[in-house]
Structure 1
Amino acid sequence: MIKLIVTDMDGTLLDDNKNLNHEFHEVYNELRNRDIKFAVASGRHYSEMHKYFRPQYKDMIYIAENGGQIVYEDKEIFTSTMDMNEIFKIAEDAMQLNDVDIILSGSQYLYLYNYKNKPLNEIRDFYFQFKIINHLSQIKEKVFKISIFNEKGSDYNTHKFIYDKWEDKMTVTASAFVWTDIYNKEVDKGVAVNVLKEKFGIRDNEVMVFGDYNNDIEMLKQGYHSYAMENASEEIKNVANFMAKSNNDNGVLQVIKDVVLA
C-alpha cells in the first residue's frame, strides 16, 4: 500500500508551460481522504513552490532547494544551510568561467551576483522575490544553495569545472540544461525523502516517486515504486523501476489514478 507520494515539479508534475493539470485538486483530495502523504520536490524556493498550491493544500509537504529545506504544515521540519566562507570560495571559482551568472538562494530572497542580464526570464519563471547584488556581504540571511547559469548548457563547461573542484565537499548536480546547483554534501532530494520516511514511519515499498532530471536520481532510489517520465533523461530512466507518460500527457496523475486510487 502506498503511503507517501513524492514528485518533482518542473518537467514532471507541471507541463512545459509550468501549469498544474486541472485534475490535480480532485486527485489530491482523494489521496488526503485515504491518508496518503503527498510531497512536491524541487530546486525551487519554498515560497515559489507554495504559490502553486496555496491555500487549499496546507497539509502538502514541500521539499525545496533540492532537499535543503522541508516544510510541512507551514513549519520547517528539516533545513541545511551553507557556510558563508564556502559560499565565497565557490563564487570565486565560478567567476573564473566565462558567460555564467551566479545565483544564491536565501530564505527570503534570490540573489543575483555577477549578473549579466541573461537568466532574468528563467529566474522569473521560478522566483518572484530577487535582488541584484554587487558583493556577497550584502546577503544577511541563511543560504541554501548556489546555482550557476550557463545559457550554453551546464554540461558545456560549468558542471565539470565545479564538480572537479568541489565534489569532495559539496553536492554538485546539473538540475536542468542551463543550471548547475551546489549545496551541502548531506543534502539532496533522496535525503529529504528519507527524512519523511523516518518521520512518518514509512517503508521503501510504501513510497512512490516521480522524476525527470538528474537531480531526481537519489530520491528515485528511496522507493520501490520509482517512475521516470517519458521525457526524462536517460540517467533517470536507467534508475527508475517504472515509466510514466510525459509531463505534457499528465503522466504523474495518470499513474496515481491507475495504480494508487483504482
Structure 2
Amino acid sequence: MRSAPTSPKTAPLVKRDDKIVSTTPIERADYLQGIEIIRSIDYRDAGVVIGGAHGAYAERKDAPFVERIRTYNRDLRLVDDLTEVDDDMLKMAIFDFDGVSQRIVDDLSVLPSTAQVVISGEYWIDIMSAAGNKGKAVTDLQKALGVTPEQTVIFGDYLNDLEMMDRGTLSFAMENAHPTIKETARYIAPANTKYGVLSVLSMLLDV
C-alpha cells in the first residue's frame, strides 16, 4: 500500500503573463476513479475542490464548505457533476473539516502510479499527476521564452525543487534548504528568512 508523501513533486500549471505555457493534467481514468472514491466517503466531513487550467470547481454546495474553499479559490464554480466539467484537471484537493484522515489516504492508495497522492496540510490531501515536476516546468518555460540554462537562475529550498536544480547554470540553494538541495545546487544563497532571493538577484543585476 502506498503512503502519501508530504512533499509534492508536481508543477501541473506553467503560466507566463496570464497565458498558459504548459499543463500536466491528471489522467482522465485516474480523475474519474478519484471522484468515485471521494464521493463514497461518508465517514468524514470531507469534500473536494478541483483545480482546472481555467478555474476551480466543486459539487458540494453547503455554506461551510463553500466559504472555506473560496478562501483559496476566488474563482470557484459550483457544478452539479464534476465528471462533466470540460477542463484540464490539474489537482483534486480534498478538504477534511476534522483534519486529514489516514482512512481517506488508504482509500486513495488504490489509485495507479500515474497519480500522486499528497498530504499537503493539516486538513488537505491533494491528488495530482505523477508525470510532471518543477524541472519539466522550468524546461517548458525556457522553451517558451527562448532562453538557455546559461540564462536561467534557479532557487530551491526543499525536495520538491530537486528536479529543477540542474535546469539553470546559476543554481542556488537557500542557506536553510534541505541538505540534498544544498548538495545539488552550485551556490548557496542567504536563507529565505533573510531575503536570500532578493539579495542574489540584486547582486546579479547590480542594483
TM class by smaller structure: 0.5 to 0.7
Across the two proteins, how many residue pairs are aligned to each other?
A: 194
Gap runs ≥5 in structure 1? 1-42, 44-65
Aligned equivalents of 1:178, 1:160: Cα separation in 2? 12
- Residue equivalent to 1:220: 165
Q: TM-score, normalised by structure 2?
A: 0.66
- Residue equivalent to 1:149: 95
Q: For 1:116-131, what aligned pairs fall within 5 Å after superposition?
A: 117=64, 120-121=67-68, 123-124=70-71, 126-131=72-77
Gap runs ≥5 in structure 2? 1-7
- Contact 1:209 1:219 survives alignment (8 Å): yes
- Residue equivalent to 2:11: 67
- Residue equivalent to 1:101: 47
Q: TM-score, normalised by structure 1?
A: 0.55
Report the residue type matching 1:255 in the other structure.
Answer: V
Structure 1 position 202, deviation (Å): 1.1
Decide which of 95, 103, 110 is 1:165's aligned counterpart: 110
% same residue? 24
Aligned equivalents of 1:223, 1:177: Cα separation in 2? 34
- 1:104-147 alpha-carbon deviations (Å, 9 max, x no partner): 012332123457736845752x4321034453245233322212
Work out whether 1:79 is the aligned partner of 2:23.
Answer: yes
Q: For 1:1-262, what aligned pairs fall within 5 Å after superposition?
A: 66-94=10-38, 95-96=40-41, 98-114=44-60, 117=64, 120-121=67-68, 123-124=70-71, 126-133=72-79, 135-137=81-83, 139-150=85-96, 157=102, 161=106, 164-166=109-111, 168-175=113-120, 178-199=123-144, 200-203=146-149, 206-223=151-168, 225-229=170-174, 240=185, 242-258=187-203, 260-262=204-206
- Contact 2:30 2:111 survives alignment (8 Å): no
Report the residue type matching 2:34 in the other structure.
Answer: I
Indicate how the Cα distance of structure 1 residues 67 and 133 shifts in structure 2: closer, same or farther if over 3 A, else same.
same
Indicate how the Cα distance of structure 1 residues 107 and 194 shifts in structure 2: closer, same or farther if over 3 A, else same.
closer
Indicate how the Cα distance of structure 1 residues 75 and 110 shifts in structure 2: closer, same or farther if over 3 A, else same.
closer
- 1:43-91 alpha-carbon deviations (Å, 9 max, x no partner): 9xxxxxxxxxxxxxxxxxxxxxx53333335543323333444212112
- Shifted more, 115-124 versus 175-184: the winner is 115-124
Aligned equivalents of 2:168, 2:135: Cα separation in 1? 10
Structure 1 position 151, deviation (Å): 6.2
CA RMSD of aligned residues (A): 3.9
- 1:127-176 alpha-carbon deviations (Å, 9 max, x no partner): 3210344532452333222123356766x638963774336112344555
Aligned equivalents of 2:156, 2:68: Cα separation in 1? 24
